[in-house]
């Protein structure tokens, strides 16, 4: 499985981000491209241990039972709900969000698994660094596919 801690997978993701444009349209979902980039950036903050969204009751109850969707080889479902604190509905500056996300991905990859958060995922709960690395790649792939890159 692809893992953001593998440099070749990071390079692939960064190249795909570079293919996005300010007017890229999603094939599904409600976020525009700037909002999606901000959402992915905020998810990076969680994985890096820079943000600690509170676990919701649903995640506490079922998160552990379904967490393998974060790190198995199946694509994420298109209609999967998101963590409320990283769902953006306001307008975002596309170029600014693009640069910021690329910087965060690069830093996360360079820091390696050792610097990955040990704090639980807000829905899925405790993840290993390896699971985070796969999950980060999978999350980014999901949203880049959403926007056709």
Ranges assigned E (strand) in the chain: none
pLDDT over 90 (residue 16): yes
The CA dihedral of 56, 59, 62, 67, to the nearest 10 degrees, is 180
Mean pLDDT of 73-94: 91
- Tell me: pLDDT of 22 over 90: yes
* Dihedral angle sign, alpha carbons of residues 117, 120, 121, 126: positive
Of 11-15, 36-40, 84-88, 92-96, the least confident: 84-88
Tokens at residue 75, please?
């694509």
Phi-psi region of 112 (alpha: psi -120 to 50; beta: other; left: phi over 0): left
**pLDDT for the residue 81:** 84
Give the C-alpha separation, 27 to 7, whole Å.
Answer: 28
Q: What angle do CA 82, 104, 78 make, to 5 degrees?
A: 25
Q: What is the pLDDT of residue 47?
A: 97
Cβ-based burial of 47 (10 A; exposed 0-12, middle 13-18, buried ≥19): buried
């Amino acid at each position: 499985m692809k893992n953001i801690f593998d440099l070749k997978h990071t390079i692939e993701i960064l190249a795909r981000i570079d293919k996005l444009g300010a007017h890229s349209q999603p094939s599904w979902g409600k976020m525009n491209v700037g909002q999606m980039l901000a959402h992915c950036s905020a998810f990076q903050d969680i994985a890096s241990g820079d943000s600690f969204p509170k676990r919701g009751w649903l995640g506490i109850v079922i998160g552990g039972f379904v967490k393998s969707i974060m790190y198995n080889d199946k694509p994420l479902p298109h209609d999967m709900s998101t963590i409320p604190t990283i769902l953006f509905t306001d307008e975002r500056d596309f170029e600014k969000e693009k640069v910021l996300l690329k910087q965060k991905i690069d830093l996360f990859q360079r820091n390696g698994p050792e610097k990955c958060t040990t704090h639980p995922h807000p829905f899925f709960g405790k993840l290993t660094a390896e699971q985070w690395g796969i999950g980060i790649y999978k999350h980014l792939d999901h949203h880049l596919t959403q926007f056709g890159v």
